[in-house]
Amino acid sequence: MNGTKSPQDWMNDWQALQQQYWTAWSDATRGVVQPPTMNTPWQDGLEQWSKLFGNSGKQTETADRLISSAKNYVALMQSLLGAAAGKMPQGFAVPNWTDALRTGFNMPGMDATFRNNPFGKIFGDMRGPGLQGFGQLPPNFAPFLDQMKKEGLSWLHAPAFGFARERQEHYQKMAASFVEFQDALGRYNGLMLKSSQRSFEIFEGKLGEHDEPGRQIDSMRALYDVWVDAAEEAYAEIALSDEFRKVYGDVVNSQMRVRQAIQQEVERMSTDFGMPTRSELNSVHKRLHDLRREIRNGRSAESSKEIDELREEVRELKRAMAMREKAPAPPPPKPAATIPTPAPAKRARPPRTAAAARVVNPVEHIKATRSQKKRPSRKPVPKRATAERSHKRSASVHEHAPLSFADAINAMRLAAARKSGKRTSAAARMSIAVKSSKAVTRKRRRGARSR
Amino acid sequence: MDPIRIDPRRAIDEATKFNEKLAAGLKTLRTLDDVDFGVTDREEIYREDKLVLYRFKGADKPTSKVPLLIVYALVNRPYMVDLQDDRSLVKHLLALGEDVYIIDWGYPDQSDRYLTLDDYINGYIKRCVDVVAKRHKVEKINLLGICQGGSFSLCFASIYPQKVEHLIAMVTPVDFHTKDNMLSHWTRGIDVDLFIDTLGNVPADLMNWCYLTLKPVRLFQQKYVGLVDILDDKTELENFLRMEKWIFDSPDQAGEAFRQFIKDFYQGNKLIEGGLKIGDKEVDLKKITMPVLNIFAEQDHLVPPSASRPLKKAIGTDDYTELAFKGGHIGIYVSGRAQREVPSAIHDWLGKR
């Protein structure tokens, strides 16, 4: 890198090289980007490019991230080469590459708080579709924050009173949370700056590892990669410290407090406009979820027992039905005497098992099973003819149709209804059984009598 | 000797070429359609809420008698295991004769914010395991848990050891309090109750940001500078975009499940230290008595090997095997080395038992 040229020669060379860069850039973009003046920052070409094509075509998000990173990279290259060419009369042998590197991150026009703070800049760039950092509050919070600044900050510690007391207190609380958040964010950015400074120290150390022949860095990319390693190392040191954990927690927690205060404000406004609020929706979601859980997994102890009992009965019924299907069909009616009688077929034996016995009439079986169970005796209620007719009609349907799961359930309900003598419509039998309080039952009966 | 030996003309040449590639590549990038993923044919077996259980279909009939169910993490989409034709853990497992199922958790919305870990582990996973077992007329199936899904699989295998034949934990955090676990370190200062009460579900954008900030310069800058090198290669560019899509295609996290996961796993470290309950069921890793294969990545920045290795001493089986993969958290599914090493390691391990 050392040469025998004069400083002016080097400057001329550097300017020629810059010109060469811009001409190449203009060619690459087929004239869309015009070569600017010699000392224009290189990343400006990319800036122009992204303005021209920023929102067109596909893969916009990836293209945006690519341009953002490329801008940082070319700024770094220009800074390193410019520093080498402009400052040192010996040519490109720069004694302090770290300073040149540091300058490379201070892109013209960037936020002053990110000066000498590449981490701050990178974190500032990390936003957009698919990304939302803790340091950012959603842009649509802005009106509420403006209102808070008007009403809250000016009266931050003043006692609230009068008809607007609650409102003022709310804005004071929001303002206090916001101040707390800003403070935490400041400490967080301070740690990012510390990471940046530390990254330059580590970078210098890493350069020392390359001063032997054969290990020298000979390209801009290799130099950049060394810095990336140094930066990540520095960041990890800070990010794993107890101080960082505390500050990180403070940023997140204080931001959540600000968000909560804004959410409360939005809720208040939504209520005024008669719109559903987040709390109301949460309440609905919670109830829905609990119901879903009860149905799927949990079930209440009471319904669980009932379902288990029903399942057991259905199982028995199914078993019985299966046995009935296996049993041979009853013999045909005796033919007239003139027709010769065939040899007697093997008679179907009467069912041996209790399950098989149940096949004959599942409904009767359920009744029998239930009557065996010890239950408090009830006053017999006279059966009503209409109910009886209804039962008979239903039963006849089930006698011919194959007994399905639903049939079995219906049969059981029918049996239960017949037993209690209550009048039940088909619709009522289909509905889920619910327990009624005695008072409600009495009332219903009275109503039925009066009808 | 000066550690830097950069020829200025070469440097300008480098910068010029960088710009040329960038300008040409950006045009190519803008013309590329959305990339597709999930190459292996699959059939839907079971659906519940937003969850779908799929069975992958291989070219040949599976030779394995016991099906393998992949339980992926909630924080990313499961198609990472079947990203593209030449990067598919699933495809290789099928080719080796495994019968592979996977749970796709879907994208939770606000109506799912009250889903708990009980719902996920004792509900969804259990029902999926039962469905698979019933289809194959077996009592136990093989489980392959990945990342957070690995932690869930450990809980499941501990609660229902009678349902798991073999357990494979892949890049699975077990000890959440090791010194190099940056994510865990950060979560311990967060008031997770305030966090969930405020946000409801945890937005995917926030999760993405959090992951990128684990290695901000490498993941948000160097990666894209490197992209310029492959901008003129359509295939490589599509591979990059596929990965990029996966990284940013993150579901929101159901609030209550997230609350418990952070509290009990990240903050309380109860999975290994004890006292963890999923619903009304206690998780005791000593009850994991089936054979266990633990695969972790040596350069994993999300789940460092130190977080996975303690599984060995925590479980109640002597049949424990460890596989340290040379790569990172993502490379373990998609790198060329992963394609060569991981599926065959799983298949061989299962075959020997």
Q: What is the pLDDT of residues B126-167, one digit of tens each?
A: 999 999 999 999 999 999 999 999 999 999 999 999 999 999
Mean pLDDT across B296-310: 96
* Whether the predicted pLDDT of A92 surpasses 80: no
Q: Would you call B23 and A278 a contact, using CB atoms and an 8 Å cutoff?
A: no
Q: What confidence score (pLDDT) does residue A448 get?
A: 55
* Whether the predicted pLDDT of A95 surpasses 70: no
How crowded is the C-beta side of B211, counted as CA atoms within 13 Å?
19
Q: Are B256 and B114 in contact (CB under 8 A)?
A: yes
Q: Would you call B182 and A278 a contact, using CB atoms and an 8 Å cutoff?
A: no
The length of chain B is 353
In which band, very low, low, confident or very high, does the pLDDT at A389 lie, cut at 50, 70 and 90?
Answer: very low
Give the gap in angstroms from C-alpha B85 to the nearest C-alpha of chain A: 22
User: Is B128 among the catalytic positions?
Assistant: no
C-alpha A430: how far from chain center: 39
Q: Would you call B188 and A249 a contact, using CB atoms and an 8 Å cutoff?
A: yes
Q: Does the predicted TM-score (pTM) go above 0.90?
A: no
* Whether the predicted pLDDT of A90 surpasses 60: no
* Whether the predicted pLDDT of A379 surpasses 60: no
Q: Which helix (H) or strand (E) holds A72?
A: helix A60-87
Q: What confidence score (pLDDT) does residue B307 get?
A: 97
* CA–CA gap between residue A385 and residue A422 (Å, rounded): 11
Q: Are B300 and B325 in contact (CB under 8 A)?
A: no
Q: Are A132 and B203 in contact (CB under 8 A)?
A: yes
* pLDDT digits 0-9 by tens, A96-145: 667 777 777 776 666 666 666 777 777 777 666 666 666 667 777 777 77
Question: What residues of B are in contact with residue A129 (Cβ under 8 Å)?
Answer: 248
Q: Are A306 and B135 in contact (CB under 8 A)?
A: no
Q: Which of B128, B147, B155, B210 is catalytic?
A: B147
Tokens coding A423 = 């009048």
As a whole number of Å, the end-to-end CA separation of chain A is: 111
B140: Cβ contacts below 8 Å, ≥ 6 apart: B66, B133, B162, B163, B164, B165, B290
Q: Which helix (H) or strand (E) holds A93?
A: none
Question: What residues of A are in contact with residue B191 (Cβ under 8 Å)?
Answer: 249, 252-253, 256
Nearest CA in chain B to A247: B189
Nearest CA in chain B to A27: B20
* Whether the predicted pLDDT of A405 surpasses 90: no
Q: Would you call B32 and A58 a contact, using CB atoms and an 8 Å cutoff?
A: yes
Q: Report CA-CA distances (Å) from B117 to A309, B255, B262.
A: 30, 10, 11
Q: What confidence score (pLDDT) does residue B341 get?
A: 95
* CA–CA gap between residue B137 and residue B208 (Å, rounded): 41
* CA–CA gap between residue A180 and residue A177 (Å, rounded): 5
How crowded is the C-beta side of A358, counted as CA atoms within 13 Å?
22
- pLDDT higher at B318 or A33: B318
C-alpha A352: how far from chain center: 60
- DSSP-derived letter for residue B228 is G
Q: Would you call B123 and A53 a contact, using CB atoms and an 8 Å cutoff?
A: no
Label the pairing between strands B141-146 and B68-71: parallel
Closest CA to A181 of A233, A141, A154, A217: A141
| Minimum-distance CB partner of A59 among B22, B119, B241 | B241
Q: Would you call B209 and A132 a contact, using CB atoms and an 8 Å cutoff?
A: yes
Give the least confident one: A191-195, A215-219, B84-88: A215-219
| Minimum-distance CB partner of A20 among B10, B16, B191 | B16
Give the least confident one: A305-314, A435-444, B235-244: A435-444
The residue among B14, B217, B244 with the most chain A CBs within 10 A of its CB, best to mutate, is B217
Apex CA B248: angle with CA B245 and CA B254, to 5°?
A: 130
Question: What residues of B are in contact with residue A124 (Cβ under 8 Å)?
Answer: none
Partner A contacted by B33 (CB < 8 A): yes
Give the gap in angstroms from C-alpha A208 to the nearest C-alpha of chain B: 7
Q: Would you call B248 and A130 a contact, using CB atoms and an 8 Å cutoff?
A: yes
Question: What residues of A are in contact with residue B188 (Cβ under 8 Å)?
Answer: 245, 249
Give the gap in angstroms from C-alpha A112 to the nearest C-alpha of chain B: 20
Q: What confidence score (pLDDT) does residue A2 get?
A: 44
B/e letters for A131-154, b = 16+ CB within 10 Å, e = fewer, are: bbbbbbbeeebeebbeebeebbee
Q: What confidence score (pLDDT) does residue A89 get?
A: 44
Which residue in the block uniquely carries the two structure tokens 């009068």? A162
Partner A contacted by B122 (CB < 8 A): yes
Question: What residues of B are in contact with residue A20 (Cβ under 8 Å)?
Answer: 12, 16
Which residue in the block uniquely carries the two structure tokens 């003043």? A158
Q: Would you call A219 and B223 a contact, using CB atoms and an 8 Å cutoff?
A: no
| Minimum-distance CB partner of B195 among A77, A245, A252 | A252
In which band, very low, low, confident or very high, does the pLDDT at A339 lie, cut at 50, 70 and 90?
Answer: very low
Q: Would you call B14 and A77 a contact, using CB atoms and an 8 Å cutoff?
A: yes
The residue among B2, B4, B192, B302 with the most chain A CBs within 10 A of its CB, best to mutate, is B4
Tokens coding A269 = 């406004």
3-class state of residue A246 by DSSP: helix
What single-letter amino acid sits at B89? L
Q: Would you call B198 and A259 a contact, using CB atoms and an 8 Å cutoff?
A: yes
Give the gap in angstroms from C-alpha A26 to the nearest C-alpha of chain B: 9
Q: Are B307 and B339 in contact (CB under 8 A)?
A: no
- pLDDT higher at A340 or B171: B171
Q: Would you call A81 and B12 a contact, using CB atoms and an 8 Å cutoff?
A: yes
Closest CA to A32 of A58, A50, A18, A55: A50
| Minimum-distance CB partner of A235 among B32, B216, B224 | B216
Partner A contacted by B275 (CB < 8 A): no
- DSSP-derived letter for residue A339 is S
* CA–CA gap between residue B216 and residue A95 (Å, rounded): 29
* CA–CA gap between residue B219 and residue A122 (Å, rounded): 10
Q: What confidence score (pLDDT) does residue A411 get?
A: 73
C-alpha B223: how far from chain center: 21
> Count of A–B CB contacts within 8 Å?
259
| Minimum-distance CB partner of B30 among A63, A74, A281 | A63
| Minimum-distance CB partner of B12 among A20, A62, A278 | A20
Q: Would you call A232 and B209 a contact, using CB atoms and an 8 Å cutoff?
A: no
As a whole number of Å, the end-to-end CA separation of chain B is: 60
* pLDDT digits 0-9 by tens, B93-116: 999 999 999 999 999 999 999 999
What single-letter amino acid sits at B204? A
* pLDDT digits 0-9 by tens, B4-59: 777 777 877 888 888 888 877 877 777 787 888 888 999 999 999 999 999 999 99
Q: Are A14 and A6 in contact (CB under 8 A)?
A: no
- The B residues from 166 to 195 touching A (CB cutoff 8 Å) are 179-180, 182, 185-186, 188-191, 194-195
DSSP-H helix ranges across A240-300: 242-272, 278-293
Mean pLDDT across A206-228: 87
* CA–CA gap between residue A218 and residue B95 (Å, rounded): 46
* pLDDT digits 0-9 by tens, B274-300: 999 999 999 999 999 999 999 999 999
Q: Would you call A63 and B221 a contact, using CB atoms and an 8 Å cutoff?
A: no
* CA–CA gap between residue B71 and residue B240 (Å, rounded): 25
Q: Are B1 and A209 in contact (CB under 8 A)?
A: no
A214: left (phi over 0), alpha (psi -120 to 50) or beta: left
